[in-house]
């Protein structure tokens, strides 16, 4: 036999020599959920190892993550109170804005991203302004742009619009530029499906919609060509980074976006994807560490440069060992 692929699988060292895909600590973005109070560290029951953290606890968590090798975080906020227009999302002293300022002080080297959405801040839990049973697109744009501006003003390096309102990237870019924040980057949740895998997140962020669901603005899971149109729109509106979300059941979409667009590509390994591995691991049904690494590697192999994952710390710990 001339070709024997097994020759290059004989030892650990040889396998490592010919390995095509490698995870690195710099690829990961750690999501954090900031809540009011002091000394609060409340575990999310459907996401073991993930917490609601008050600002003082958040800064400690960020410093510890940085020491471990995490170089980027993304912040979500649980406001003191909610209202129909999500005023907590764009308040100058909003929970995320305060957290950004605190982290800027305590961990100046950390790349700070802010999720730009309204659902955690609206009383009805939808990602935009609601009239009747409808989420009104263009009115929501103004609030999303204000939210991004307040996050940039607080010191966010990157804002990450996730509301799936048409034109949100353009509206944010325009306001940021007009206000002197032309260097704040936009990571667009460009291809975001209406997914059952967000379940645990809605417990963590207390953002489940009060009525209906998000299918009238997030994407229909069976559609792939439509994902290319979404990516094209966000790219042309000025997105610096494109994202596909969820990650694992949309690896085909990740690959398609990678092949068509030459901006950095992010994938969000979402709450339900994390929870499934955790739960099966805790039951002893799978080897959690192995499945975690295999999963994150598949996301990178499919084309992601950046991986948002609740496993960031655990993955880095294993990579370093
Ligand atoms: C905000 C937002 C959501 C997630 C990220 N940003 C929830 C949603 O769209 O319902 C989900 C992340 C996760 O499940 O880990 N709109």
Find the 201 Cα to ligand 1 centroid distance in Å.
Answer: 6
Question: Does 50 fall in a domain?
Answer: yes
- Is residue 178, in this structure, part of any structural domain at all? yes
Alpha-carbon dihedral sign for residues 283, 285, 288, 294? negative
Q: What's the total number of domains in the chain?
A: 1
In a domain, 243, yes or no: yes
Choosing from 114, 162, 196, 278 the residue with most ligand 1 atoms within 8 A of its CB, the one to mutate for a pocket test is: 162
9 domain-assigned: no
| Percentage of the residues of the chain whose pLDDT score is greater than 90 | 99
115 CB under 6 A from ligand 1?
yes
Does residue 7 lie within any of the structural domains? Answer: no
Q: Which residues of 163-199 are buried (b: 16+ CB within 10 A; e: fewer)?
A: bbbebbbbbbbebbeeeebeebbbbbbbbbbebebbe
For residue 82, give the nearest of 33, 112, 129, 123 by alpha carbon: 123
Q: Is the CB of 89 under 6 A from ligand 1?
A: no
Tell me the CA distances in angstroms from 7 to 15, 147, 293, one per residue in order. 10, 56, 24
Residue range of the domain that includes 83: 21-320
Residue 147 within a domain: yes
What's the whole-number mean pLDDT along residues 258-276?
Answer: 98
pLDDT in tens, 108-157: 999 999 999 999 999 999 999 999 999 999 999 999 999 999 999 999 99
283 has catalytic annotation: no
How many angstroms is it from 34 CA to the middle of ligand 1? 15
Whether 270 is in a domain gets the answer yes
**Which residues have CB under 8 Å from 229's CB, separation 6+?**
none
| 144 CB near ligand 1 (under 6 Å) | no
Model's pTM, two decimal places?
0.97
Residues 6+ apart with CB under 8 A from 275: 46, 47, 199, 200
How many angstroms separate the CA atoms of 118 and 102, rounded?
22
Atom 2 (ligand 1) nearest CA:
162
d(CA 306, CA 299): 9
Q: Is residue 101 part of a domain?
A: yes
CATH number of the domain at 251, please.
3.20.20.70
């Amino acid at each position: 036999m001339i070709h024997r692929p097994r020759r290059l699988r004989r030892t650990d060292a040889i396998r490592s020599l010919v390995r095509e895909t490698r995870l690195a600590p710099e690829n990961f973005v750690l999501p954090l959920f900031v809540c009011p109070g002091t000394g609060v560290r409340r575990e999310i029951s459907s996401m073991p190892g993930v917490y609601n953290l008050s600002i003082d606890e958040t800064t400690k968590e960020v410093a510890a993550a940085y020491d471990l090798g995490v170089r980027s975080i993304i912040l979500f906020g649980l406001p003191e109170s909610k209202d129909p227009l999500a005023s907590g999302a764009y308040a100058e002293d909003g929970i995320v804005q305060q957290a950004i300022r605190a982290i800027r002080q305590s961990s100046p080297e950390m790349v700070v991203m802010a999720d730009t959405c309204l659902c955690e801040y609206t009383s009805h839990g939808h990602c935009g302004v609601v009239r009747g049973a409808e989420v009104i697109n263009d009115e929501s744009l103004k609030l999303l742009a204000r939210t991004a501006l307040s996050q940039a003003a607080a010191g966010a390096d990157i804002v990450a619009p996730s509301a799936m309102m048409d034109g949100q990237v353009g509206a944010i870019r325009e306001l940021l530029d007009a206000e002197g924040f032309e260097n704040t980057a936009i990571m667009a949740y460009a291809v975001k499906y209406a997914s059952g895998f967000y379940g645990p997140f809605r417990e963590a962020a207390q953002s489940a919609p009060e009525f209906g669901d998000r299918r009238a603005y997030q994407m229909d899971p069976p559609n792939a060509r439509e994902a290319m149109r979404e990516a094209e729109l966000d790219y042309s509106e000025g997105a610096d980074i494109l994202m596909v979300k969820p990650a694992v059941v949309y690896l085909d979409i990740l690959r398609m976006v990678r092949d068509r667009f030459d901006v950095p590509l992010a994938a969000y390994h979402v709450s339900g994807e994390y929870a499934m591995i955790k739960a099966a691991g805790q039951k002893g049904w799978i080897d959690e560490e192995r499945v975690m690494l295999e999963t994150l590697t598949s996301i990178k192999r499919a084309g992601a440069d950046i991986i948002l994952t609740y496993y960031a710390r655990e993955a880095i710990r294993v990579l370093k060992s």
